[in-house]
Amino acid sequence: GNSVTQMEGPVTLSEEAFLTINCTYTATGYPSLFWYVQYPGEGLQLLLKATKADDKGSNKGFEATYRKETTSFHLEKGSVQVSDSAVYFCALSDPTSGTYKYIFGTGTRLKVLA
Amino acid sequence: KAGVTQTPRYLIKTRGQQVTLSCSPISGHRSVSWYQQTPGQGLQFLFEYFSETQRNKGNFPGRFSGRQFSNSRSEMNVSTLELGDSALYLCASSQGQGPTYEQYFGPGTRLTVT
């Protein structure tokens, strides 16, 4: 079945450091891929998405490229800020598998120190 | 535009009791999905409703059920509560089904079973 694997956290970085959060997936069809962010006490917010191979999603300085050959969708940001501290979730939706449901990774907590 | 609202925000119940959680989607959204979030299992899909019909269901026992009303508001019910049901229950709404439509999440209902 479909699944998403993310790197374990927490990830602790200094302000202005480069961020990479790894995400790989298993899917039987042609999924769309997403990154969601959850700030403390809040629900999830869509950060970016990519719907087909080689697409790059980007938002608020974050980027991720849909790599079908490596089944990956790693999240990157060139210079993190304290306000980026949150939990990040990688997710997929694969309607070609017969369902619209979303499958989430376990989440990676990011802590950015001033 | 008001976001997704969930009530109550916090709930404490005793084993064996039942509970009903409510979700009001963004106006105009017809799809509502429910997720269970726990530290150990992460985010797990419970079910999705679209136009008052359950369209997708996750791997949860029959104690978990839901419904959607004609105004798209949704409720989920858990009967015979177990300690393991303690979790953050998130509701998400979207205009339609599938990854073309962005999911907007509510802040969640924190359920504690004692």
Spatial CB neighbours of B62, under 8 Å, sequence gap ≥ 6:
none
Q: In this predicted model, what pLDDT tens digit does every residue of B39-85 receive, in sequence order? A: 888 889 999 999 999 988 889 999 999 999 999 999 999 999 999 99
What band does A1 get if pLDDT is binned at 50, 70 and 90?
Answer: confident
What band does A19 get if pLDDT is binned at 50, 70 and 90?
Answer: very high
Q: Counting every residue, how long is chain B? A: 114
- Does B60 lie at the interface with A, CB-CB under 8 angstroms? no
Are B106 and A43 a contacting pair at CB < 8 A?
A: yes
Are B98 and A101 a contacting pair at CB < 8 A?
A: no
Q: In this predicted model, what pLDDT tens digit does every residue of B73-91 receive, in sequence order? A: 999 999 999 999 999 999 9
- Does B51 lie at the interface with A, CB-CB under 8 angstroms? no
Contacts of A3 in chain B (CB under 8 A): none
Residue A114 has a CB neighbour count (10 Å cut-off) of 6
Are B99 and A45 a contacting pair at CB < 8 A?
A: no
- Is the pLDDT confidence value at A71 over 90? yes
- Does B55 lie at the interface with A, CB-CB under 8 angstroms? yes
Min distance B41 CA to chain A CA atoms (Å): 7
- A80 is written with which tokens? 């993190």
The DSSP line for chain A is: --EEEE--S-EEEETT--EEE-EEEE-SS--EEEEEEE-TTS-EEEEEEE-STT-EEEETTEEEE-BTTTTB--EEESS--GGG-EEEEEEEE-GGGT---EEE---EEEEEE-
Q: Are B100 and B2 in contact (CB under 8 A)?
A: no
What band does B94 get if pLDDT is binned at 50, 70 and 90?
Answer: very high
What band does A97 get if pLDDT is binned at 50, 70 and 90?
Answer: low
Contacts of A32 in chain B (CB under 8 A): 99
Region for B59 from its dihedrals, namely left if φ exceeds 0, alpha if ψ lies in -120 to 50, beta otherwise: beta
How many C-alpha atoms does A37 have within 13 Å on its Cβ side?
15
Helix (H) or strand (E) segment spanning residue B66: strand B64-68
